[in-house]
Structure 1
């Protein structure tokens, strides 16, 4: 009888040990499943980073001061230009480029990149390295001192050069950028400013 009870106790002990083993496995799985959370988060971070590249950052950081100078030139036309067409063109340039400055600034902030500070005099102190079409401080002072027909001629000649620089920078962004939004803005700049160049060239011939 005692022997039979002993034999019955063996499988009972085995079952008890198996149950303990199962609990231990669950505990082991807990930390492992916890470690899997950061791994699942990393692809989303990588995907966010993949939405832009260094070219996009450079495009925005260079185009912001470029646009600011164009707006500064356009502001001068309001009180110095003689031609109604020049005044209207200047107003259109300001209307188009002010919102683009704000949009590019927002991109840079979202990308964790620095936004160029205003009040740098058109960044003429940088020597225009890579800043196609930027006017020098001397040129800006000459434009500020001109009035009437002389202003109209200087404004058109300078803005054509300025626009040509912007178009070149925008084409580089189209070719090498990654951000869909930045590349779309670049395409818009190429289209709108190319059309304005043609218009300004016609105004110069009048």
Structure 2
């Protein structure tokens, strides 16, 4: 009984402090991105360049470095991804199946589908046109990229357990496909977030602010 009371008190008081009394100070996401800004991940080998931000989306071109490992196998719950390439051959792991994408072909990844794009070749692959991401996702992606690059192995570390729920609660709609079910990851995030804030973790770090990233 006392354990349940303690858990309930932690959830109520912790989230009250985290979300209402001491909310994080963050810029308006709708004004974060300018054409030419880069979203770059050395860890993943992805370099995205902003084309425009409008109507709640950030449109980016994408270059994938030779032999880029790409992101972990992940799931988006709120948007589809469409891949078209201008050159080379892009490998995409989709729900247990390996697909080889050639120029002129289109691959749609429906939301909720585990996937992982990566480059097995020595070519720098260019995505055709621009990819549109929800602006909150793009805002968090800059922060996620910076944290991953500054902390090698972060995505599989204990720090990720505390950090990622804060990013996800702020709009980073990306969940590990080989982790617990997505609904459980979201629930864990609600539980962990107050503790993470207390330990100094944030969903926004000014040094990774998209507006401060040089072209």
For normalisation by structure 1, the TM-score amounts to 0.25
Higher helix share: 1
Which has the higher Rg, Structure 1 or Structure 2?
1
Higher strand share: 2
